[in-house]
Every structure is written in C-alpha cells, then in structure tokens.
Amino acid sequence: MNRRDFLERASALLAAGLSWTRLRSAEAAPWFRISLAEWSLHRTIFGGKLDALDFPVVARRTFGIEAVEYVNQFFFDRARDRAYLGELKRRAEGEGVRSLLIMCDREGRLGDPDPARRRQAVENHYKWVEAARFLGCHSIRVNAASEGSYEEQQKLAADGLRQLVDFAAEHELNVLVENHGGLSSNGAWLAGVIRMVDHPRCGTLPDFGNWRVDAETWYDPYRGLAELMPFAKGVSAKSYDFDAEGNETRLDYVRLLRIVREAGYRGYIGIEYEGDRLDEMEGIRATKALLERVRAQLAEAQNDQGGQR
C-alpha cells in the first residue's frame, strides 16, 4: 500500500468512526423529553401548600424534571409584574429548568361571535405573550372557544387566533391551541381551524385526555390525537389513575405514544396529572414512570425493526 492509499483509507475509517459516534450518541438520546405542567399541582398550589414561585424548584428537586409549563391562573394578576416574573425566571434558571410555555385561561373567547369581544379577548392575551417571552418560553397555550354552527365557529376561532398569532409572531412566540372542551375537543374541527389560520406560529398542544365535546359526546382520543399531531409544538400527557402494573386506566399510553412517535414528534411531553385517588405527588411520579417505560419500549421496538432490515 502506497502512502496515498494509506491516507485515503485512514480518512475513510476516521470518517466512519465519527459517524458511528454520532449515531450512537443520537441513539442514546431519548426520542422525547419529559416536562411538568403546573396544573398537576393545582390542588397543592391553590391549597397554599406550595408557592407558585417554587414550582420550577419542585419540578427539578422532587421529580428530576428539567422543563415546565406554567398556568396563568396561579399568577393571574402578575402578567406584567416584572419583579414577580423576574424572580420566577431566576428560580427556574437557578435549577437549570427550561420554561416552555404558559397555559392561558379566563381571558375571553378568541372565537366570540361579537367582533368587539373577540378583539378584546385577543388583546387580553397580549400580556401573556409578553410574559412568556420574558420567561424564555416558546409558546402560550390558548383556547378556541366560540359559538354557532360547526363552520361558523371554525371561521370565528380562526379569525381571533390569526389576530393573536400576528402579535405573537412579532415576539417570536407560538400560539398553541389545546383540545379543551366544546368543538375544540373534536380533532377534525380543530385541525381545520389551524389550517384556516395558516401561519407557522400557530399550532396545537394535543392533550391525551380532553375529548369531551358536550354532555353526550366524547371524541375518540386516538383519532383526535392523530388529527392534531401534524400541527403539534407540544404534547400534554393527561393521566387520571393507574392499575397495579402502572398503566393508565382510561388511556392506552402505548397506543397514544406510538401515534406521537409516528407523527415524527421529538419535543417535550408534559405530565398533567388530574386524578384524585393518588395525591398529586404520587400521580406525577406514576405518570413519569409510565412515560419513561413506554418511551423505552417503543424505542427498543424501533431499534429491533431497524436491525431486521
């Protein structure tokens, strides 16, 4: 072997080695990361047992979770209080916790049939966009409540959302809509709204469990999740209760997470425990354990399929 051949082969082996290292590193990384939604601790916070400012601290120290999703109800009058928000940001950053989004409620209907009320609802959310930007979040989560026929509500919700998204885009923030009751819990309806808005900053935050359209109608959770995942910039892992094996009793997490994975989603999935048999701390731990187990199970199945090709 001459010197030139030796160098070419050595370079090829080195490149292959680096590629293998990168591949092994990518395989070692989880295909989604786990965050914690503040609503999981709503009874603890509303009951005065936990200061909302300490939520990021609890997420990291109690549960080993590195990212959080805030709920505006816990600091509803503090959206423009820079001292309060600054302290919240300081505590999150001090724990190495990433602030992902703020879930926004009680600010009016973005799809209100009355143009003035619809516009007021849009403007009511401005302060949360600004607060989310200050905290370092990527999004706010909103509701797409409206009134009227199926088609009328789609148009009205899309109009309000588009107005809000135009403002949020100026702050480099996303506006995400959750399936959260009414027609928003109809996956096809909400997917149609997002298409009408037609803006890269407008997406969804699919929730595993919020599929009650009205008193008599429940939407299929697996169909709904599949319909919303193409627009997802976050996912909410709702949980209520667990059996002796640690499986969620109302929802098939393997099936749900398979839908998430097959959609190509690789972001955070937020724990949102809402049960009442286990206390909130135990419910969060049970949900985290289930997510970790199914995550590993699906990753192993994917690796096995890849090895058979």
Whether 300 is in a domain gets the answer yes
Whether 15 is in a domain gets the answer no
Residue keyed to tokens 């009328």 = 152
Whether 8 is in a domain gets the answer no
Whether 158 is in a domain gets the answer yes
Cα 133 to Cα 78: distance, rounded to the nearest angstrom: 14
Cα 300 to Cα 258: distance, rounded to the nearest angstrom: 12
Cα 259 to Cα 253: distance, rounded to the nearest angstrom: 10
Cα 43 to Cα 46: distance, rounded to the nearest angstrom: 5
Ramachandran class of 121: left when φ > 0, alpha when ψ lies in -120 to 50, beta otherwise: alpha
pLDDT digits (tens, 9 = 90+) for 249-262: 999 999 999 999 99
- Assess contact for 298 and 254: CB atoms under 8 A: yes
Q: Which helix (H) or strand (E) holds 210?
A: none
Whether 17 is in a domain gets the answer no
Number of domains in the chain: 1
Using 50, 70 and 90 to split pLDDT, how confident is the model at 11?
Answer: low
Q: Which of 307, 222, 237, 231 is nearest to 272 (CA)?
A: 237
9 burial (CB, 10 Å; 0-12 / 13-18 / 19+) is exposed
pLDDT digits (tens, 9 = 90+) for 44-90: 999 999 999 999 999 999 999 999 999 999 999 999 999 999 999 99
Cα 242 to Cα 126: distance, rounded to the nearest angstrom: 39
- Assess contact for 185 and 146: CB atoms under 8 A: no
Using 50, 70 and 90 to split pLDDT, how confident is the model at 24?
Answer: very low
Q: Which of 61, 217, 72 is nearest to 130 (CA)?
A: 72
Whether 23 is in a domain gets the answer no
Q: What is the residue range of 123's domain? A: 30-308
Q: Which of 61, 40, 58 is nearest to 50 (CA)?
A: 58
Whether 25 is in a domain gets the answer no
CATH number of the domain at 248, please.
3.20.20.150
Whether 290 is in a domain gets the answer yes
